[in-house]
Amino acid sequence: MERDESVFMVGQDIAGGIFPHTMGLVEQFGTDRIVDTPLAEVGMYGTAFGAAMEGFKPIVDFMFAGFFLNAASPILAQTAQFRFIHGSQMSLPMVITGACGSGMRLGNEHAMLVHNMIAQVPGIKVCMPSTPYDAKGLMISAIRDPNPVAFIWHLGTMMDRGPVPEEAYEVPLGVAEVKREGSDITLVANGIQYKNAVEVADKLEGDISVEIIDPRSVSPLDIDTILKSVDKTGRLVIVDESWDSRSTASQIAAQVVDVGFDMLDAPIRRVCIPDIPLPGGHMEPYVAPNPDAIEAAVRDVCQ
């Protein structure tokens, strides 16, 4: 925002509200560029959409990403197809953001993850950071991208701390990263599930060598990095905090089987949410992926 005056934020509770990522911004940039809105998702999104058409670079913050569904029609039917229907002659630079995910014992509509829903419609890039370093780099890339990007936070990672350079830098959208080298099995995970994957890999060290890949972007998906790892390990477990049959995990599994079936020494396992509504509150731990479920899947595939 210091670098580019066309960047501004519009959304719910961004002037000093529930989450820490906008703290202090209204004091620095004023209410013309930190526009706190009522609970009116279609209205605030329309503000961002119109501003992007006029050359601004809005960041529209739904606070809880599940409430993007209240503005799903302009997001999925209009924003996603904007560049295509204009013959690639017009761009729509905007970032759609919000937090979601299990672990905070909130209401189910606050917790439900939407990264896979948005990724089903071509035209919007979708990313989810797992580390503070990636969060900054992906957000800068999203803001500088000339077309819409959905930047989804997992609630379980927003208070994480880690090394982050002061200077500006970009983490490229659509590029996965091998976060941990291993030789026995490939484990793909992002968001809070990346932290769970690290916990499992640490526990199994000396018994099973786990290679961890963080996709970072859900769309576009860097399947080549995953295939290269599977070619080395011969085994694959995918952890995705989403519904099993509608998940990025299912997409990854399908693409690996299509292209790299001969690389596999064992069936692929997916660790996801069962195909039921995600319950809020104290029921979340019974359905969301967790370290025990991930470890069981890894051991099963390696046997």
Active site residues: 110
Give the residue among 119, 116, 301 at the shortest CA–CA distance from 211.
301
Give the β-pairing of 57-64 and 34-36.
unpaired
The residue type of 78 is: Q
Q: 106 in the Ramachandran plot: left (φ > 0), alpha (ψ -120 to 50) or beta?
A: beta
Residue by residue, DSSP assigns 222-288 as -HHHHHHHHHHHS-EEEEEEEEGGGSHHHHHHHHHHHHHGGG-SS--EEEEE-SS----GGGGGGTS
**With contact defined as beta carbons under 8 Å apart, do 252 and 225 qualify?**
no
Render the burial of 261-287: b for 16+ CB within 10 Å, e for the rest: eebbeeebbbbbbeeeebbbeeebeeb
Q: What is the largest CA-CA distance in the chain?
A: 59
